[in-house]
Amino acid sequence: MRKTWLTVRSLTLWAISGIHFVVVASVLILIGMLIDPRKNDKPQRVFFRNVLRFAGVKFEVRRSPGFDPDRTCIFMCNHVNIFDPFVIYSAIPQFVRGFELESHFKLPIYGWMMGHFGGNIPVPDVPTLKSLAKMNRLAKESLDSGISLIAFAEGSRTRDGHVHEFKKGVFKIAQKLRVPIVPMSIVGSYQFFQTGNWMLYPGKITVYLHDTIDSSEIPRDLENFCERVRQIVAAPVDESLKQFPPPDQRG
Protein backbone atom coordinates (compact mmCIF):
# COMPACT_ATOMS: atom_id res chain seq x y z
CA MET A 1 0.00 0.00 0.00
CA ARG A 2 2.82 2.41 0.91
CA LYS A 3 4.64 1.65 -2.35
CA THR A 4 1.49 2.49 -4.34
CA TRP A 5 1.09 5.75 -2.41
CA LEU A 6 4.75 6.68 -3.01
CA THR A 7 4.40 5.92 -6.72
CA VAL A 8 1.27 8.06 -7.12
CA ARG A 9 2.83 10.81 -5.01
CA SER A 10 6.04 10.81 -7.09
CA LEU A 11 4.18 10.92 -10.40
CA THR A 12 2.06 13.84 -9.18
CA LEU A 13 5.04 15.79 -7.85
CA TRP A 14 7.08 15.24 -11.03
CA ALA A 15 4.17 16.53 -13.10
CA ILE A 16 3.64 19.63 -10.95
CA SER A 17 7.32 20.53 -10.59
CA GLY A 18 8.00 19.76 -14.27
CA ILE A 19 5.25 22.05 -15.55
CA HIS A 20 6.36 24.78 -13.14
CA PHE A 21 9.97 24.44 -14.29
CA VAL A 22 9.23 24.64 -18.02
CA VAL A 23 6.82 27.57 -17.77
CA VAL A 24 8.67 29.73 -15.24
CA ALA A 25 12.16 28.96 -16.60
CA SER A 26 11.06 30.11 -20.06
CA VAL A 27 9.73 33.38 -18.63
CA LEU A 28 12.92 33.97 -16.61
CA ILE A 29 15.13 33.33 -19.63
CA LEU A 30 13.10 35.86 -21.61
CA ILE A 31 13.45 38.39 -18.79
CA GLY A 32 17.16 37.58 -18.58
CA MET A 33 17.60 38.61 -22.21
CA LEU A 34 16.24 42.05 -21.41
CA ILE A 35 17.46 42.70 -17.85
CA ASP A 36 20.86 42.32 -16.19
CA PRO A 37 20.82 38.90 -14.40
CA ARG A 38 21.92 40.57 -11.15
CA LYS A 39 18.82 42.76 -11.19
CA ASN A 40 16.77 39.65 -11.88
CA ASP A 41 18.22 37.60 -9.03
CA LYS A 42 15.25 37.64 -6.65
CA PRO A 43 12.67 36.04 -8.99
CA GLN A 44 15.26 33.43 -9.94
CA ARG A 45 15.68 32.52 -6.27
CA VAL A 46 11.92 32.27 -5.78
CA PHE A 47 11.73 30.01 -8.84
CA PHE A 48 14.51 27.69 -7.65
CA ARG A 49 13.05 27.46 -4.15
CA ASN A 50 9.60 26.67 -5.54
CA VAL A 51 11.01 23.80 -7.59
CA LEU A 52 11.96 22.18 -4.27
CA ARG A 53 8.58 22.98 -2.73
CA PHE A 54 6.68 21.46 -5.63
CA ALA A 55 8.91 18.38 -5.45
CA GLY A 56 7.67 17.88 -1.89
CA VAL A 57 10.91 18.44 0.01
CA LYS A 58 11.43 20.48 3.18
CA PHE A 59 14.45 22.78 3.20
CA GLU A 60 16.81 24.36 5.73
CA VAL A 61 20.12 26.26 5.67
CA ARG A 62 22.63 26.22 8.53
CA ARG A 63 25.50 28.71 8.53
CA SER A 64 28.66 28.21 10.58
CA PRO A 65 29.77 31.20 12.69
CA GLY A 66 32.90 31.52 10.53
CA PHE A 67 30.98 31.74 7.25
CA ASP A 68 31.33 35.19 5.68
CA PRO A 69 28.26 35.87 3.50
CA ASP A 70 29.81 39.00 1.98
CA ARG A 71 33.04 37.58 0.53
CA THR A 72 33.23 36.51 -3.09
CA CYS A 73 34.45 32.91 -3.00
CA ILE A 74 34.32 29.42 -4.48
CA PHE A 75 31.90 27.03 -2.76
CA MET A 76 33.09 23.39 -2.73
CA CYS A 77 30.01 21.16 -2.62
CA ASN A 78 29.08 17.48 -2.80
CA HIS A 79 27.16 16.40 -5.91
CA VAL A 80 24.00 14.36 -5.22
CA ASN A 81 21.37 14.58 -7.96
CA ILE A 82 19.63 16.81 -10.53
CA PHE A 83 18.07 18.92 -7.77
CA ASP A 84 21.49 20.23 -6.65
CA PRO A 85 21.34 23.52 -8.63
CA PHE A 86 17.97 24.36 -7.07
CA VAL A 87 19.27 23.50 -3.59
CA ILE A 88 22.43 25.55 -4.03
CA TYR A 89 20.75 28.62 -5.44
CA SER A 90 18.22 28.54 -2.62
CA ALA A 91 20.96 28.30 0.03
CA ILE A 92 23.77 30.68 -0.93
CA PRO A 93 23.07 34.32 0.08
CA GLN A 94 25.17 35.78 -2.75
CA PHE A 95 24.96 36.23 -6.49
CA VAL A 96 26.35 32.86 -7.51
CA ARG A 97 27.02 30.92 -10.67
CA GLY A 98 28.69 27.58 -11.24
CA PHE A 99 31.16 25.43 -13.09
CA GLU A 100 29.12 23.29 -15.53
CA LEU A 101 30.25 20.65 -17.99
CA GLU A 102 30.33 22.14 -21.47
CA SER A 103 27.96 19.44 -22.73
CA HIS A 104 25.31 20.56 -20.18
CA PHE A 105 24.97 23.85 -22.05
CA LYS A 106 23.59 21.86 -24.98
CA LEU A 107 20.76 20.27 -22.98
CA PRO A 108 17.20 21.38 -23.85
CA ILE A 109 15.83 24.16 -21.61
CA TYR A 110 18.37 23.62 -18.81
CA GLY A 111 21.37 24.33 -21.03
CA TRP A 112 19.65 27.33 -22.56
CA MET A 113 18.89 28.63 -19.08
CA MET A 114 22.52 28.19 -17.95
CA GLY A 115 23.76 30.06 -20.99
CA HIS A 116 21.36 32.99 -20.66
CA PHE A 117 21.54 33.49 -16.89
CA GLY A 118 25.13 34.66 -17.33
CA GLY A 119 28.33 33.93 -15.40
CA ASN A 120 28.27 30.11 -15.53
CA ILE A 121 31.64 28.59 -16.43
CA PRO A 122 31.81 25.83 -19.09
CA VAL A 123 34.11 22.98 -18.01
CA PRO A 124 35.52 21.13 -21.05
CA ASP A 125 34.39 17.50 -21.31
CA VAL A 126 37.70 16.75 -23.04
CA PRO A 127 40.27 19.12 -21.50
CA THR A 128 42.93 20.75 -23.65
CA LEU A 129 45.39 23.50 -22.79
CA LYS A 130 43.30 25.96 -24.79
CA SER A 131 39.96 24.97 -23.22
CA LEU A 132 41.39 24.98 -19.69
CA ALA A 133 42.92 28.42 -20.26
CA LYS A 134 39.50 29.68 -21.39
CA MET A 135 37.83 28.17 -18.29
CA ASN A 136 40.38 29.85 -16.00
CA ARG A 137 39.93 33.18 -17.77
CA LEU A 138 36.14 33.06 -17.48
CA ALA A 139 36.38 32.07 -13.80
CA LYS A 140 38.68 35.03 -13.11
CA GLU A 141 36.31 37.41 -14.91
CA SER A 142 33.34 36.19 -12.88
CA LEU A 143 35.16 36.32 -9.54
CA ASP A 144 36.68 39.75 -10.29
CA SER A 145 33.18 41.07 -11.00
CA GLY A 146 31.94 39.85 -7.60
CA ILE A 147 30.26 36.63 -8.72
CA SER A 148 30.86 33.70 -6.37
CA LEU A 149 31.19 30.27 -7.98
CA ILE A 150 30.01 26.81 -7.00
CA ALA A 151 32.02 23.69 -7.84
CA PHE A 152 31.11 20.02 -7.48
CA ALA A 153 34.60 18.96 -6.49
CA GLU A 154 33.90 15.24 -6.90
CA GLY A 155 33.24 15.79 -10.60
CA SER A 156 30.23 13.44 -10.73
CA ARG A 157 27.09 12.54 -8.79
CA THR A 158 27.34 10.14 -5.89
CA ARG A 159 25.91 6.66 -6.39
CA ASP A 160 25.91 5.66 -2.72
CA GLY A 161 25.20 8.96 -0.95
CA HIS A 162 28.74 9.39 0.40
CA VAL A 163 31.18 12.16 -0.53
CA HIS A 164 34.02 10.82 -2.63
CA GLU A 165 37.50 12.08 -3.51
CA PHE A 166 37.74 15.73 -4.51
CA LYS A 167 39.55 16.64 -7.73
CA LYS A 168 42.29 19.26 -7.52
CA GLY A 169 41.39 21.36 -10.57
CA VAL A 170 39.09 23.89 -8.94
CA PHE A 171 41.37 24.10 -5.90
CA LYS A 172 44.19 25.12 -8.25
CA ILE A 173 41.98 27.91 -9.58
CA ALA A 174 41.27 29.15 -6.04
CA GLN A 175 44.98 28.93 -5.23
CA LYS A 176 46.06 30.78 -8.38
CA LEU A 177 43.43 33.52 -8.12
CA ARG A 178 43.77 33.81 -4.33
CA VAL A 179 40.07 33.31 -3.73
CA PRO A 180 38.61 32.04 -0.42
CA ILE A 181 36.88 28.66 -0.28
CA VAL A 182 33.66 27.68 1.49
CA PRO A 183 33.00 23.97 2.09
CA MET A 184 29.29 23.28 1.55
CA SER A 185 27.34 20.12 2.47
CA ILE A 186 24.05 19.04 0.92
CA VAL A 187 22.50 16.69 3.48
CA GLY A 188 19.37 14.56 3.08
CA SER A 189 19.10 14.96 -0.67
CA TYR A 190 20.22 11.39 -1.34
CA GLN A 191 17.43 10.07 0.87
CA PHE A 192 14.98 12.31 -1.03
CA PHE A 193 16.00 11.38 -4.58
CA GLN A 194 18.65 8.98 -5.86
CA THR A 195 20.18 9.15 -9.33
CA GLY A 196 18.87 6.20 -11.31
CA ASN A 197 15.62 5.95 -9.32
CA TRP A 198 12.73 8.26 -10.25
CA MET A 199 10.93 8.03 -6.87
CA LEU A 200 10.66 11.21 -4.80
CA TYR A 201 10.59 10.28 -1.12
CA PRO A 202 9.28 12.54 1.66
CA GLY A 203 12.18 14.19 3.41
CA LYS A 204 14.21 17.25 4.31
CA ILE A 205 17.31 18.74 2.72
CA THR A 206 19.66 20.68 4.97
CA VAL A 207 22.52 22.74 3.55
CA TYR A 208 25.55 23.44 5.73
CA LEU A 209 27.62 26.51 4.82
CA HIS A 210 30.87 25.89 6.70
CA ASP A 211 33.53 28.39 7.79
CA THR A 212 35.10 30.46 5.02
CA ILE A 213 38.70 29.36 4.40
CA ASP A 214 40.91 32.31 3.45
CA SER A 215 43.10 31.97 0.37
CA SER A 216 46.17 32.41 2.59
CA GLU A 217 45.34 29.02 4.14
CA ILE A 218 45.52 27.18 0.80
CA PRO A 219 48.93 25.46 0.75
CA ARG A 220 51.16 24.79 -2.24
CA ASP A 221 50.68 21.06 -1.75
CA LEU A 222 46.98 20.54 -2.39
CA GLU A 223 46.78 16.81 -1.66
CA ASN A 224 46.09 16.99 2.07
CA PHE A 225 44.15 20.24 1.75
CA CYS A 226 41.67 18.72 -0.72
CA GLU A 227 41.08 15.85 1.68
CA ARG A 228 40.67 18.26 4.59
CA VAL A 229 37.91 20.13 2.71
CA ARG A 230 36.32 16.85 1.63
CA GLN A 231 36.12 15.68 5.23
CA ILE A 232 34.43 18.93 6.28
CA VAL A 233 31.83 18.48 3.56
CA ALA A 234 31.40 14.76 4.24
CA ALA A 235 30.97 14.87 8.04
CA PRO A 236 27.27 15.93 8.21
CA VAL A 237 26.46 13.83 5.12
CA ASP A 238 27.84 10.64 6.67
CA GLU A 239 26.11 11.35 9.97
CA SER A 240 22.78 11.81 8.20
CA LEU A 241 23.18 8.55 6.27
CA LYS A 242 23.80 6.71 9.56
CA GLN A 243 20.75 8.19 11.25
CA PHE A 244 18.44 8.18 8.23
CA PRO A 245 19.38 5.48 5.69
CA PRO A 246 17.81 5.80 2.21
CA PRO A 247 14.30 4.30 2.06
CA ASP A 248 15.40 1.33 -0.03
CA GLN A 249 18.08 0.43 2.57
CA ARG A 250 15.87 0.54 5.66
CA GLY A 251 15.06 -2.66 7.43
The closest of 15, 75, 58, 83 to 210, measured between CA atoms, is 75
Residue 144: CA atoms inside 13 Å, Cβ hemisphere, count? 8
Strand positions, DSSP E, the chain: 57-63, 74-77, 96-101, 121-123, 148-152, 181-187, 203-209
Query: Distance of alpha carbon 152 from its chain centroid, rounded?
Result: 7
Asked if residue 84 lies in contact with residue 100, where contact means CB atoms within 8 angstroms, the answer is: no
Q: Does the structure show a pLDDT above 90 at 207?
A: yes
Dist. CA 118–CA 189, nearest whole Å = 26
Mean predicted confidence (pLDDT) in 227-236: 97
Mean predicted confidence (pLDDT) in 180-189: 97
Mean pLDDT of the chain: 88
Position 53 scores a pLDDT of 93
Which residues, at least 6 apart from 238, have a Cβ–Cβ distance to it below 8 Å? 162, 163
Position 118 scores a pLDDT of 63
Residue 76 — pLDDT band, cuts 50, 70, 90?
very high
Percent of the chain topping pLDDT 90:
58
Position 25 scores a pLDDT of 76
* pTM beyond 0.75, yes or no: yes
